[in-house]
Amino acid sequence: MTKIDQLESKDHSDAAALIGASHVFRRKGFAAATTREIAAAAGMLPGSLHYRYASKEQLLLALMERGIARATTSLRDAISKTNDPIERLRAGVRSHLRLLLDEDEAIYVLLYEGRGLSGDARAEMVRLRDQYDAIWDGVLYAAAGTGRLRPDVDLRLLRLLLLGAVNWTAQWFSPNGTYSADEVADSYADIVLNGVLAEKGR
């Protein structure tokens, strides 16, 4: 086997391990999942899985890294398509929601199983998440800089509120429901930007 073949085989095995882990973590939760179950879902022997990932935490961190990398790339691509800071905010919400509703179970695991990490692995996950949040902070600060947002709005709380609402959508959204993903995203953005009180009720 050539070095190229070895690398391709390793990449394929790593991908299978991560797919298997994401499936088992989503179905059973991180705490209840076993490496034997993950190996079976990945189609490999437990020893082969352990050779690549020494623990469940390493698998979970690898899934988190993959999910955050996808989210970061998607967000940067979405906001690069317009120069209007308010439209960038809308585009970012659409991008985030589309990713959550994708079939990649690693994104679901990223949202709901992060508490399974501890020590250095948790610190690394927090560092990666902070990098993603920093992009959002830049989008919100740019929107505030236009003077079109209320100056007394706490932008950190605004980010937490907005992403929290979008993240929860993964729990109830149905592609056969009343609204499309983009319609939900745009409605969230409108509610945040315009509020819910009519002019006479303020």
Instruction: Please state the rounded mean pLDDT for residues 43-64.
Output: 90
Which of 26, 118, 11, 13 lies closest to 67, judged by CA? Answer: 26
Q: Is the pLDDT of residue 5 over 50?
A: no
Q: What is the pLDDT of residues 96-119, one digit of tens each?
A: 999 988 867 778 788 888 777 888
Common-topology check for domains 1-54 and 56-195: no
Asked if residue 188 has pLDDT above 70, the reply is: yes
Q: Is the pLDDT of residue 34 over 70?
A: yes
Position 1 pLDDT exceeds 50: no
| Overall average pLDDT of the 131-139 stretch | 95
Q: Are 137 and 159 in contact (CB under 8 A)?
A: yes
pTM exceeds cut of 0.95: no
Q: Residue 83: what pLDDT?
A: 95
Task: Kindly report, residue by residue over 150-172, the tens digit of the pLDDT.
Answer: 889 999 999 999 999 999 998 89
CATH among 3.40.50.300, 3.40.50.9100, 1.10.357.10, 3.40.50.620 for 56-195: 1.10.357.10
Lowest-pLDDT range of 74-83, 99-108, 126-135, 159-168: 99-108
Q: Name the residue ranges covered by the structural domains of the chain.
A: 1-54, 56-195
Fold of the CATH domain 1-54: Arc Repressor Mutant, subunit A (1.10.10)
Predicted confidence at residue 146, as pLDDT, reads 92
- Three-state SS sequence of the chain: CCHHHHHHHHHHHHHHHHHHHHHHHHHHCCCCCCHHHHHHHHCCCHHHHHHHCCCHHHHHHHHHHHHHHHHHHHHHHHHCCCCCHHHHHHHHHHHHHHHHCCCCHHHHHHHHCHHHCCHHHHHHHHHHHHHHHHHHHHHHHHHHHCCCCCCCCCHHHHHHHHHHHHHHHHHHCCCCCCCCHHHHHHHHHHHHHHCCCCHHHC
Sign of CA dihedral 36, 40, 45, 47: negative
> Above 90 in pLDDT, residue 12?
no
Measure CA 100 to chain center.
6
Can you tell me which residue has the tokens 């079939």? 103
- Residue 40 — pLDDT band, cuts 50, 70, 90? very high
